[in-house]
């Protein structure tokens, strides 16, 4: 009898071990798939911003996007990833609810530092670190790409790279540590909840761009002497609209990467999906709400503009406006919130333009203004829901004041470093290209190639051999 019991126990242990391995492999595959999906976002930004550029600047805008993506990966690896784990309590080294200092924990987990050798190379026992890093690194690259569209056609390449690194590997990462982490002080003290990163990715990037634009100034010819604005169209509206649609496709990967898959070692629920806060979520909720948000944003923008650019921008605004609460909203409510975001989108962009800000693609409004709008809306419609996983009565709940506090912090974490760093670059002559180069076109003076050589006379001449 004892032998039979022992054999049965061994079989149960084997099944449990097999189930644990399956969970680890599923989590690894889950995050691995989010990475190419999020790269589609960058294909979209590439097409979107090149299409929104004039013919003489199309390749320089593309080069800027490619470099933003490339520089984010190593810089996020070497210090951005560490910041996320080291700063959640707001004080580096201060012990959070985990009972371990943030810096100590960061040193033990962040790739490239401390005891990280166990997570590198051909370590077949690690099923999560590299792919989880990859998902976060793509979040970082997204912030840089958001900023890049606003500043096209007049920013220096090196200055842009410096700004992209500050934004993508530091500014938004601090926001994530504070508001997108189970130990983040915005979460534990104020009940801030931002599941899909409307504030800590989009608003931070949007208002970082605003700080840069104030120092960068408008493109030549954008404003008249009386302050009125001229429309400067890009060279290829179809390419821009297709690029925006690709960003929508990539958003499914972005929001998928905001989900923690089942697994005993890393999830609050061994058999269920969870948010970064440990609260429950399903992919079904995402499917319903993302689609309703896209539709609501498009329809709201179409009613007021009839412009395909603003309609597709409305699709982005629809997702961003609902992102904070995609794990909580019912589909009809997601549609209403997105619809309202689509309606206010163009008026908000016009208001900013009347203040002398030349945002070439509306990035400040689509990502910044609408991002904060989405954070605050959750404080109204999601009030009372748990902001964090834990025993009833022991965790903060979502509330309007907490979401407003989070919105203010996200604004400051974007705008202040964007303004300060761009001001310093301006002092050293590293922010804006010279007037002659801007008039001639950045492709002519900065890129050893021509986007459409058969369409103009600006193609480089290759000496005959």
Q: Say what the pLDDT of residue 393 is.
A: 60
* Predicted local confidence at residue 449, as pLDDT: 83
Distance CA 362, CA 250 (A): 19
From the number of C-beta atoms within 10 Å of its C-beta (0-12, 13-18, 19+), residue 228 rates as: exposed
User: What is the reported pLDDT for 263?
Assistant: 65
Within 10 Å of residue 132's Cβ, how many Cβ atoms?
23
- Model pTM? 0.89
**What pLDDT does residue 127 have?**
62
Distance CA 175, CA 170 (A): 9
Question: From the CB of residue 77, how many other CB atoms can be counted at a distance below 10 Å?
Answer: 18
Q: Which residues of the chain have pLDDT under 50?
A: 11-19, 92-101, 111-114, 117, 264-265, 457-465
**Pairing mode, strands 259-260 and 274-275:** antiparallel
Q: How far apart are CA 201 and CA 40, in angstroms?
A: 17
Q: For residues 142 and 42, give the distance between their C-alpha atoms in angstroms, rounded to a whole number.
A: 7
Domain 18-116+127-451: which topology? Answer: Ammonium transporter fold (1.10.3430)
pLDDT at 100: 41
User: Within 10 A of 4 (CB to CB), how many other CB atoms are there?
Assistant: 8
Phi-psi region of 356 (alpha: psi -120 to 50; beta: other; left: phi over 0): left
HSE-CB for 137 with a 13 A CA cutoff: 25
């Amino acid at each position: 009898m004892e032998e039979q019991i022992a054999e049965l126990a061994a079989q149960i242990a084997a099944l449990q071990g097999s189930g644990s391995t399956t969970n680890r492999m599923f989590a690894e595959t889950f995050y691995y798939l989010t990475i190419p999906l999020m790269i589609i976002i960058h294909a979209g930004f590439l097409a979107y911003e090149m299409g929104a550029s004039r013919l003489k600047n199309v390749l320089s805008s593309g080069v800027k996007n490619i470099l933003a993506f490339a520089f984010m990966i190593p810089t996020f690896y070497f210090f951005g990833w560490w910041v996320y784990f080291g700063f959640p309590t707001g004080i580096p080294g201060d012990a959070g609810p985990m009972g371990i200092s943030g810096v100590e924990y960061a040193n033990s987990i962040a790739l490239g530092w401390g005891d990280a050798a166990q997570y590198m190379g051909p370590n077949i026992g690690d099923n999560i670190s590299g792919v989880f890093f990859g998902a976060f690194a793509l979040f970082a690259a997204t912030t840089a790409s958001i900023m890049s569209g606003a500043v096209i056609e007049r920013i220096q390449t090196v200055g842009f790279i410096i700004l992209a690194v500050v934004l993508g590997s530091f500014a938004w990462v601090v926001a994530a540590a504070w508001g997108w982490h189970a130990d983040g002080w915005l979460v534990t003290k104020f009940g801030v909840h931002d599941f899909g990163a409307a504030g800590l990715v989009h608003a931070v990037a949007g208002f970082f761009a605003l700080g840069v634009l104030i120092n960068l100034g408008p493109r030549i010819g954008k404003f008249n002497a009386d302050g009125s604005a001229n429309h400067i169209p890009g060279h290829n509206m179809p390419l821009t609209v297709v690029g925006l649609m690709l960003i929508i496709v990539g958003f499914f990967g972005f929001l998928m990467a905001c989900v923690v898959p089942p697994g005993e070692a890393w999830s609050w629920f061994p058999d269920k999906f969870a948010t970064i806060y440990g609260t429950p979520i399903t992919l079904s909720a995402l499917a319903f709400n993302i689609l309703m948000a896209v539709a609501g944003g498009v329809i709201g923008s179409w009613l007021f503009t009839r412009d395909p650019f603003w309609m597709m921008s409305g699709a982005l605004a629809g997702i961003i406006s609902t992102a904070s609460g995609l794990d909580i909203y019912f589909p009809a409510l997601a549609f209403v919130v997105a619809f309202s975001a689509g309606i206010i989108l163009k008026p908000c962009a016009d208001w900013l333009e009347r203040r002398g800000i030349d945002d070439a693609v509306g990035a400040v409004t689509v990502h910044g203004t609408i991002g904060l709008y989405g954070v605050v809306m959750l404080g109204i419609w999601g009030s009372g829901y748990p902001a964090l996983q834990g025993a009833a009565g022991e965790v903060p709940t979502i509330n309007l004041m907490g979401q407003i506090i989070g919105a203010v912090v996200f604004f400051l974490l974007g705008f202040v470093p964007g303004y300060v760093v761009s001001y310093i670059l301006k002092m050293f002559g590293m922010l804006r290209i010279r007037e002659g180069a801007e008039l001639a076109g950045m492709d002519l003076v900065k890129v050893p190639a021509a986007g459409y050589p058969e369409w103009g006379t600006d193609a480089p001449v290759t000496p005959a051999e």
